[in-house]
Homo-oligomer: A and B are copies of this chain.
Amino acid sequence: MNSINSVKLTELKKIEHSAGDIHKLLNSFEEDFKGFGEIYTSEIKMNSIKAWKFHKINDLNLVVIKGKVKFVFYDKSNFREIITCENKLERIFVPAKLWFGFKCLSNSTSLILSLSNKVHSEDEVLRKELKSITYCW
C-alpha cells in the first residue's frame, strides 16, 4: 500500500500563442513518466462520483481537461483531497497501490485525461462500493 503522500501534483508548462495556447501535459524525460500502456478519457457527470478503485500495478497520470473535479486518495490511515479544474493546468501522478475516487464539482460533465503505464486489465484493479469507505463527499 502506498501512502497518500506519494500522490504528486505538477504544474503544466504553457506555451502562449495568439491563435491558442499549447499545454505540455507530460514528456518521456519527466520523472512521472512510467511507460505508455494506454491513454483514455473519463467523463464524470454533474454531482456524480466514481469510487473506489485501487490499481495493483498501474501508475496513472491524470489531467482535468474540462470542468472541475475533486479527487480523494485513501491509504487506510488518512484521506487526501485534491480539487483541480481545467484552468489550473495541473497533472496528478497517482502511483499504484492506493485507493482513490473522484467527484464532479462543475455544473456540467467534467473530463479527465488518464495516461496509464500499462494497458487496462480487470485483474489488476480492485473495486469497493462507494459506501464501504466512510468519507463525506
Contact = CB atoms under 8 A, between A and B. Distances in A.
Interface string A36-54: 1111111111001110000
B25 A40 contact: yes
A39 to B, nearest CB: 5
Interface stretch (A2-10, A15-23, A75-83, A92-100): A15-23
**Most chain B CB neighbours (cut-off 10 Å) among A37, A39, A43:** A39
A60 interface: no
Interface in A59-82: 65-66
A39 B109 contact: no
Interface string A13-37: 0000111111111111100010111
A28 B37 contact: yes
18 contacts: A17-B43, A19-B48, A19-B50, A20-B42, A20-B44, A20-B109, A22-B40, A23-B41, A23-B43, A24-B40, A25-B41, A28-B37, A28-B119, A39-B115, A65-B65, A65-B113, A66-B66, A113-B113
Interface of A: 17-29, 33, 35-45, 48-50, 65-66, 104, 109-111, 113, 115, 119-120
